[in-house]
Amino acid sequence: MRKKLIQEKDLEVFVVDTSDKRDDLTNLGRFDFANVYAGLRSLFKLIYYLIFVRPDVVYIPISQNHWAYFRDGLFILISSVFKAKILIHLHGSYFLKFYEESSWLYQKFIDLTMKRVDGAIVLGEKLKYIFEKWLSTDKIFVLPNFIEWEFNEDKIRSTKNDESVVRITYLGNLRESKGIFDLLEAIKIVKKSTRTKFIVNIAGKLGDDPVTGLSLREHEIRFGNYLKELGDVANYIGEIKEEKDKFELLKNTDIFVFPSWNEGQPLVILEAMSCGCPVISTKDVGVIDETVIDGVNGLLVEKRNIRQLADAILKLVNNRDLRISFGMNSLKRFGEFYTIERHIYEFRKILIVLLFGEKLRYLKVLPVAIKLIPPRRFNDLFDLRGYTLKKFIKFLVIEGIGLSINKAKNKLIERKILKGEYLVIMKFKYDKNIFFCFTRDLGYFKPEEIMFFKSKFDDIGINSIYLSTETLDIFEHYLPVPSCPDDVKEKLVNGILKDNQYLVPFPEIYTVICRTKIESTAILSNRISLRDNGCFILGFGGYMREYALHFFKKDIIAALDYKARAIRRYFKFDFPIYDRFEDIMDEIARVKNPLVIIATYHSDHAWMTKMVLDCNPTARVFIEKPAAVTNEDANILFELRAKGAFIDIGYNRRHALFTQVIRNALKDSKGQVHITFIVKELKIPKTHWYFWSNQGTRVTGNWTHWIDLLRFLTGKNVINFSVIGDDGNATVLFELEDKILAEIIVTDIGSDFYGVEEYFEIRFNNTTIKLRDYRELEIINNFRKIRYKRMRRDKGHYKMYLTLKENILNNKGPFYPAEDILWVTHLCNEIIRVIKD
């Protein structure tokens, strides 16, 4: 298998050879200088690979004797230090017995090593119990043995047609526990019970039996006596050393008998099956009865039951058609389950499950290869904003200790989450064809139909997929979520096809490979009981964790986020987090008068609100700005408000103390008013979802704050406006009713050190009001100057959520006026239209 794995195009394999070069099986597991030297050499080579290669998986075939397993245990412990996934493989069946018969101290050593193991491979379903003491069943994999041999079915058929003599073969070590004496005793019965001519060919080497304690000399005496008694019916060939001689014998065999008492999955049975032999063997021994199906490709008898063994041999000796039928079924089963190709295929799937586990829950066909490409542009976000210790200390001063620490923690974790949103390429083999799928890692791999492609060639490795810089940028812009617009998906598909002209779109394979229905996807969830109130958060991103969580943590029943699994990896909450909208809707429906905070992608706000109110009309909905992206969505929200629904909108600056002071001052204004908002916005990379075509650009995402503030401060309608620049750097001039002029200047040019910085200046009558970044308010009236200064920047977040809680507790209506939903949304879209034109 090692050679075949090395040849795999999609795997990088490094080998630590632990084999004993002396080619003497008696040296296995012995404590001698050669074995100690070989063990140390292997250990240091493994450490070298762990340090300099950093493998994803360390695969260790484990032994079932003390000295050899001590070496394997050291491999496991050292590999765990380097955080590699550890996959062990047991080729036998008595590891648990080996553990139970070990000393107390050695058992503790085995326990210590097994705690570090991520997955274990056994030969069959019946052997899973061996590792259930240490591993959950989903981490115990079944991988049968294999035979690497190019068999020719027609050639094998031609060797089975000689009717003159039935050829029975035993091939293996000639030891009592291998059932050799049971076979010879049964042959004595067969000889007396049939007139059909037959011969028993016996090939193997006599030796001591560690199971029964029978010595070599005792074996020689008993074996010699049987040969004399059976005469020309028994033919002892001796030990076969050449592979070609072994298969030549098996190809010329009509019945293969192997009545062993103690096995895992004997390779010799697989070799016999590969040569089209019907097999007689023992039931309830290792996984023999998973290999030989009784009555299909052979017969199974109880071990050490001479009468049953003789009857089984007689049944096949006397029935040529049954022999041929069983033999062809053996050949068929071998081709389906025990070839090297099948073994590699299944082994690769085990590696995939070991590495990605729950991320594959949307797939019913496992990929044979997965390639993860680290996102590049997410670093731009943090590099542009320059998160440093110096910045953190500054924020401690201007925003307070609690909020600053919370923000810093969330920003660091958000960076880890974004770093983990790998670009994912998956390769599938199905019905002799190769398919590729492209998606993102959101804590799970959820492909979309449009992202499946079929290869025109059947030997394409996953590393052959080429993605240009342009396509990679589009790939980073894409997320497999309902909100991602079709134009992004189409651009990505076109880029993939342009870069890889041997691929063709093949969305039809989606229903074959992917699950259309899966169970509820809550992380840490028990179904909630009926409650009178509580809070649900739809969209559990950094902003909600930084601001809203403080106010509603004790009231939260559940949350929703497409990145639920990634969030749960870094945060510990007492409530479940769902990653599917339909799942949390079931919970919302079960609560009387729930508060539902919607802070998802902006294009989701209106339809989610409608769905929430449809399933629970008593729900109180709070939408984080903006209320809507399109005018149609704004109309939906307005109509729902008109029908009495509780829908509030989260424009936090309306609630800031300095905003309230300015608004009260403007009530006394007479004549002309001039308002200037100068805003330094944060830089964001072009792959940010704000730039999706359905999200309303940065006008809807960011400018909406100051457009809403203009409405709140004046209460007037816009008569005319003009725009200079684009949605990153622009000036918007407004003419409003009652001789009010306003300008909003927004730019992301300059330093992001202080976050979003704002400077407002309002002039009316003989008054000038200056607001500097919500920390300092200055009011100048004629010769009088009043200055309010705060140590901490207060943009109204806390007051907004306190007002929301108070309104709900006192059964008051929403704070935000319904008509302002239309006013702000319509004006944003007019500005976007002018910028695009």
Instruction: Find out whether 105 and 66 touch, Cβ atoms under 8 Å.
Output: no
CA nearest to 227, candidates 180, 281, 259, 269: 180
Between CA 192 and CA 283 the distance in angstroms is: 26
Fill in the amino acid letter for 637.
Answer: L
HSE of 541 in the Cβ direction (CA atoms, 13 Å)?
A: 11
Q: Which helix (H) or strand (E) holds 98?
A: helix 95-100
CB-based contact 545:410 (threshold 8 Å)? yes
**What is the b/e burial string over 148-164, where b = at least 16 CB atoms within 10 angstroms of the residue's CB?**
ebebeeeebeebbeeee
- Minimal CA–CA distance to 628: which of 638, 616, 618, 620? 638
- The two three-digit tokens of residue 619, written as one number: 């729900």
Q: What are phi and psi of 73, to 5 degrees?
A: -65, -40
pLDDT higher at 472 or 688: 472
Look-up of token digits 């901490």? 792
Q: What is the pLDDT of residue 382?
A: 56
Q: How far apart are CA 569 and CA 546, in angstroms?
A: 17
Sign for the CA dihedral angle at 302, 308, 314, 316 comes to negative
pLDDT at residue 152, rounded to an integer = 54
Which value, to the nearest 10 degrees, does the dihedral of the CA atoms of residues 678, 721, 602, 596 take?
A: 80
CA dist 131 → 97, 119, 645 (Å): 11, 10, 57
Average pLDDT of the residues in 160-172: 82
292: helix, coil or strand? Answer: coil
Q: What is the DSSP letter of 341?
A: H
Rounded Cα distance, 61 and 39, in Å? 14
The set of long-range contacts for 304-308, using a CB threshold of 8 Å and a minimum separation of 24, is: 304/179, 304/182, 304/261, 306/182, 306/185, 306/186, 306/189, 307/189
Burial of residue 82 (number of CB atoms within 10 Å: 0-12, 13-18, 19+): middle
Peptide bond preceding 626 in cis form (omega within 30 of 0) = yes
pLDDT > 90? residue 743: yes
In the chain, % of residues over pLDDT 70: 92
Best CA proximity match to 316, nearest among 190, 203, 201 = 190
Sheet with 673-680, edge to edge strand ranges: 718-725, 729-736, 740-747, 673-680, 757-764, 767-772, 776-781, 784-789
Q: How confident is the model at residue 533 (pLDDT cuts 50, 70, 90)?
A: confident
Q: How many CB atoms lie within 10 A of CB 414?
A: 22
pLDDT tens for each residue of 205-218? 999 998 899 999 99
Rounded-to-integer distance, Cα 489 and Cα 474, Å: 9
Q: Is the pLDDT of residue 483 over 70?
A: yes
- The strands making up 503-505's β-sheet, listed across from edge to edge, are 369-373, 423-430, 433-440, 452-455, 503-505
**What pLDDT score does 215 carry?**
94
Confidence (pLDDT) at 260: 95
Whether residue 159 has pLDDT greater than 90: no
pLDDT of 527 reads: 46
Q: Is the pTM of this model over 0.85?
A: no
Q: In this structure, what token pair is assigned to residue 622?
A: 């709070």
**Quick one: pLDDT at residue 521?**
56
Q: d(Cα 32, Cα 16) in Å, to the nearest integer? A: 20
pLDDT at 817: 97
pLDDT band at 160 (very low <50, low <70, confident <90, very high): low
Least confident of 326-335, 381-390, 409-418, 746-755: 381-390
- 8 A C-beta contact, residue 70 and residue 109: yes
**613: nearest Cα among 638, 585, 576, 635:** 585
* Dihedral (CA of 756, 625, 478, 517) sign: positive
Q: Residue length, the chain?
A: 837
Express each pLDDT in 763-814 by its tens digit: 998 899 999 999 999 999 988 999 999 888 899 999 999 999 999 989 999 9
Mean pLDDT value across residues 749-756: 84
Distance of alpha carbon 63 from the chain centroid: 31
**Which residues, at least 6 apart from 379, have a Cβ–Cβ distance to it below 8 Å?**
none
Average confidence (pLDDT) over 811-827: 96
Question: What would the 3-class secondary structure string for 446-457 be?
Answer: CCCHHHEEEECC
Mean pLDDT for 654-658 is 96
Instruction: Tell me the three-class secondary structure of 349-373, residue by residue.
Output: HHHHHHHHHHHHCCECCCCCEEEEE
Q: Tell which residue, 508, 502, 432, has the closest CA to residue 465.
A: 502
pLDDT band at 51 (very low <50, low <70, confident <90, very high): very high
Q: Reduced to 3 states, what is the DSSP secondary structure of residue 322?
A: helix
CA torsion 363-367-369-371 (nearest 10°) is: -30
Q: How confident is the model at residue 526 (pLDDT cuts 50, 70, 90)?
A: very low
Q: Are 773 and 754 in contact (CB under 8 A)?
A: yes
Question: Could you tell me which residues come within 8 angstroms of residue 384 by beta carbon, excluding any fewer than 6 positions away?
Answer: 682, 683, 684, 685, 752
What pLDDT, on the 0 to 100 scale, is given for residue 163? 62
Residue type, 486: D
Task: Give yes or no for residue 25 having a pLDDT over 60.
Answer: no
Residue 47: its pLDDT value, please? 93
d(CA 521, CA 576): 9
Beta bridge partners of 729: 747
Tokens linked to 275: 């040569």
Each residue's pLDDT tens digit, 99-156 = 999 999 999 999 999 999 999 999 999 999 999 999 999 999 999 999 887 655 554 5
What is the predicted pLDDT for the residue at 33?
62
Number of other CB atoms surrounding residue 195 within 10 Å: 5
Query: Is the separation of the CB atoms in 693 and 836 below 8 Å?
Result: no
pLDDT of residue 167: 96
Q: What are phi and psi of 621, to 5 degrees?
A: -105, 130
Predicted confidence at residue 709, as pLDDT, reads: 97
Which residue(s) pair with 771 in the sheet?
Answer: 760, 777
Mean residue pLDDT of the chain comes to 90
Calpha distance 338→737 (Å, rounded): 83
User: CB-based burial of residue 374 (10 Å sphere; 0-12 exposed, 13-18 middle, 19+ buried)?
Assistant: exposed
- Express each pLDDT in 598-637 by its tens digit: 999 999 999 999 999 999 999 999 999 999 999 999 999 9
Provide the terminal-to-terminal Cα distance of the chain, rounded to the nearest Å: 63
Task: Inform me whether the pLDDT recorded for 551 exceeds 90.
Answer: no
Contact 250, 203 (CB under 8 A): no
Greater model confidence, 14 or 490: 490
On the question of pLDDT at 689 being above 70, the answer is yes
Nearest Cα neighbor of 810 from 653, 664, 646 is: 646
Q: Residue 383 above 90 pLDDT?
A: no
Residue whose tokens read 């992917």: 514
Structural contact between residues 769 and 790, judged by C-beta atoms closer than 8 angstroms? no
